[in-house]
């Protein structure tokens, strides 16, 4: 057996739906020597991480910490802890990850009601109100930033609406945290989950969650055990609280990374960070328009950090993305579900939301599209983005 060579992958600019490039300071933090997961120094780092995570989530929720797994484990954590067999659950589906919520909720044995919208659209609050009034569910689950379509769902009033019907609100914030406003306390969100590899500029591996006092009360009132031992918050919270009771060996290096990623968010300031994402989105959108790449999400509900556009008729999705990767070192995402082969998803998240990313991807896309036979004015995408930045 021959031994593989030393790890040395070709450099990439990760402008897909995630992961995004980790910030250099995050990568540097990950070279810090290991500590034990119960070492007093590490426990202080855990405290730092929780405090900063509350600030980024804009919450005072005590039960706020990173689950030791990727964002989908955050989704499961919320459902398996709050949903028991027979509980009524409403899931709002408007894309791939709403569909995944439906799958997870059904595996919990819930009595499930699915509220659907065409992909790329969002829900009207009156539509949700009518469903809550008729179903009276224990839980309403919805995606804040739908990664498959680039659609932004306004959830700012949903918490108040849910609480009128004694319903808990679960929000998927995987693609929103660190990129656009997420205000759990003001919005009265009961359970939220995100990931480390998008707006927080860290590698994948952690899923920051936060449970409100109402959600904790619901957890305490369960009649049955949580179906997942690993994700059972009645046990995990003892490790992340003052007890520091052993549950599992925490991913030390990933906690280092998240701590530094959160430091970067707060150093920049939330409002400045959100404004940066919008500014770069506006420039990218202008350039994509010049390249004749229309958005999937409806006007008025488009994410600044995840730009999903339709591929021109007759253009080969896979061939173009391969050329972007092999010749230009740029990764973008293909479509999911009903948009497979029909859409590209371009992420400008966290560290990657910067003008150099905008100009690099627009220049490369122009070359790839022209090579695929699309007639474009040379430099039109770059020129449109430049005008947007100046304007």
CATH label of the domain that carries residue 76 = 3.40.640.10
Contact 351, 249 (CB under 8 A): no
Contact 179, 49 (CB under 8 A): no
Domain presence at residue 359: yes
Q: Does 279 lie in the same domain as 210?
A: no
Q: Does 259 lie in the same domain as 276?
A: no
SS3 275: helix
Domain presence at residue 5: no
> pLDDT tens, 53-74?
999 999 999 999 999 999 999 9
Question: Which of 228, 244, 266 represents a domain boundary (last residue)?
Answer: 266
Q: Does 152 lie in the same domain as 207?
A: yes
The range of the structural domain enclosing residue 260 comes to 24-266
Q: C-alpha distances in angstroms, 178 versus 52, 160, 195, 314, 345?
A: 12, 23, 10, 36, 19
Q: What share of the chain is helix, strand, coil (3-state, %, to 5)?
A: 45, 15, 40
Q: Extract the tokens encoding 269.
A: 């300031």
Domain presence at residue 351: yes
Domain presence at residue 321: yes
Q: Does 296 lie in the same domain as 209?
A: no
CATH code at position 284: 3.90.1150.10
Contact 105, 91 (CB under 8 A): yes
Neighbours of 48 (CB within 10 A): 15
Question: Which of 204, 233, 266 represents a domain boundary (last residue)?
Answer: 266
Q: Does 39 lie in the same domain as 99?
A: yes
Q: What pLDDT, on the 0 to 100 scale, is given for residue 242? A: 79
Q: Does 277 lie in the same domain as 139?
A: no
Give the strand order in the sheet containing 191-193.
63-67, 207-211, 191-193, 168-172, 139-143, 88-93, 111-116
Q: Does 156 lie in the same domain as 124?
A: yes
Q: Does 293 lie in the same domain as 331?
A: yes
Q: Does 259 lie in the same domain as 171?
A: yes
Answer yes or no: pTM beyond 0.85. yes
Q: Could you give the number of structural domains in the chain?
A: 2
Interhelix angle for 213-220 vs 71-82, to 10°?
Answer: 60
Q: Does 321 lie in the same domain as 241?
A: no
Distance CA 87, CA 105 (A): 10
Distance CA 307, CA 287 (A): 12
Q: What pLDDT, on the 0 to 100 scale, is given for residue 241? A: 86
Question: Which of 206, 233, 266 represents a domain boundary (last residue)?
Answer: 266
Contact 236, 46 (CB under 8 A): no
| Rounded CA Rg of the chain | 21
∠ Cα 12 323 352 (to 5°): 30
Q: What pLDDT, on the 0 to 100 scale, is given for residue 1? A: 85
Domain presence at residue 200: yes
Residues of the chain with pLDDT under 50: none
Neighbours of 373 (CB within 10 A): 9
Q: Does 323 lie in the same domain as 236?
A: no
Domain presence at residue 13: no
Q: Does 352 lie in the same domain as 214?
A: no
């Amino acid at each position: 057996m021959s031994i593989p060579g030393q790890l040395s992958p070709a450099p990439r600019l990760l402008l897909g739906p995630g992961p995004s490039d980790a910030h250099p300071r995050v990568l540097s933090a990950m070279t810090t020597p290991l500590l034990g997961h119960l070492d007093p120094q590490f426990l202080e780092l855990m405290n730092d991480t929780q405090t900063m995570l509350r600030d980024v989530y804009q919450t005072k929720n005590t039960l706020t910490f990173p689950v030791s797994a990727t964002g989908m484990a955050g989704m499961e954590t919320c459902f398996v802890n709050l949903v028991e067999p027979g509980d009524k659950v409403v899931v709002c589906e408007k894309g791939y990850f709403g569909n995944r919520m439906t799958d997870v909720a059904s595996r919990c044995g819930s009595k499930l009601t699915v509220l659907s919208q065409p992909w790329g659209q969002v829900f009207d609050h009156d539509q949700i109100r009518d469903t809550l009034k008729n179903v009276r569910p224990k839980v309403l689950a919805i995606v804040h930033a739908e990664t498959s379509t680039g659609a932004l769902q306004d959830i700012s009033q949903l918490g108040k609406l849910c609480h009128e019907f004694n319903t808990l609100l679960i929000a998927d914030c995987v693609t929103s945290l660190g990129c656009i406003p997420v205000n759990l306390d003001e919005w009265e969100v009961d359970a939220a989950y995100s990931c480390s590899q998008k707006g927080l500029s860290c590698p994948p591996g952690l899923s920051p969650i936060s449970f409100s006092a109402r959600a904790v009360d619901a957890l305490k009132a369960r009649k049955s055990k949580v179906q997942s031992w690993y994700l059972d918050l009645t046990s995990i919270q003892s490790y992340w609280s003052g007890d520091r009771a052993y549950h599992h060996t925490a991913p030390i290096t990933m906690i280092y990374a998240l701590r530094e990623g959160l430091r970067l968010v707060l150093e920049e300031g939330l409002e400045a960070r959100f404004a940066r994402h919008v500014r770069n989105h506006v420039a990218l959108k202008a350039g994509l328009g010049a390249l004749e790449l229309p958005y999937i999400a409806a006007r008025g509900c488009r994410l600044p950090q995840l730009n999903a556009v339709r591929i021109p008729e007759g253009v080969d999705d896979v061939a173009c993305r391969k050329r972007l990767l092999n010749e230009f070192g740029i990764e973008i995402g293909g479509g999911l579900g009903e948009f497979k082969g029909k859409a590209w998803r371009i992420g400008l998240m966290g560290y990657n939301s910067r003008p150099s990313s905008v100009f690099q991807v627009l220049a490369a896309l122009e070359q790839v599209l022209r090579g695929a036979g699309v007639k474009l004015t040379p430099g039109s995408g770059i020129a449109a983005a430049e005008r947007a930045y100046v304007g």
